[in-house]
């Protein structure tokens, strides 16, 4: 079952709480628009996380280069192990559309904060 979307839980994690968008990320979001950022998030989740066995799982999400990547690390939506541990999305099976929607919403809520 998916957890309720509450990004405040990551304040307790030293690792997760260190992530923040920098000025360049904010400019990119402003220039590109939140709707496009959400589309990027969905594309990244589908391509890099949704399969039962993602390629390079645990290392597929860069630590920089796009605001979505930063948000994924900040919200533990960066790999299947983190999705399982923090969000209850099981490892070893393809993510369903509700899970993909949940992850994308989580990422966008963090970016909006």
Task: Count helices and strands (H / E) in the chain.
Answer: 6, 0
Q: Residues 52-83: pLDDT tens digits? A: 999 888 888 888 899 999 999 999 999 999 99
51, 94 contact by CB (below 8 A): yes
pLDDT at site 1? 44
> In which band, very low, low, confident or very high, does the pLDDT at 5 lie, cut at 50, 70 and 90?
low
Tokens 């809520």 appear where?
109
pLDDT the model gives residue 3: 56
Q: How far apart are CA 79 and CA 31, in angstroms?
A: 28
Cβ contact 110:26 at 8 Å = no
Pairwise CA distance, residues 75 & 83, whole Å: 9
């Amino acid at each position: 079952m998916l957890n309720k979307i509450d990004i405040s839980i990551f304040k307790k994690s030293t690792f997760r709480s260190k992530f923040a968008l920098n000025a360049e990320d904010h400019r990119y979001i402003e220039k590109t628009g939140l709707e496009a950022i959400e589309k990027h998030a969905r594309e990244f989740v589908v391509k890099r996380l949704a399969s039962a066995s993602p390629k390079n799982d645990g290392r597929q999400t860069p630590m920089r280069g796009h605001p979505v990547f930063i948000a994924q690390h900040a919200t533990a939506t960066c790999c299947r192990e983190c999705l399982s541990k923090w969000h209850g999305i099981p490892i070893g099976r393809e993510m369903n559309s509700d899970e993909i929607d949940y992850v994308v919403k989580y990422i966008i809520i963090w970016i909006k904060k």
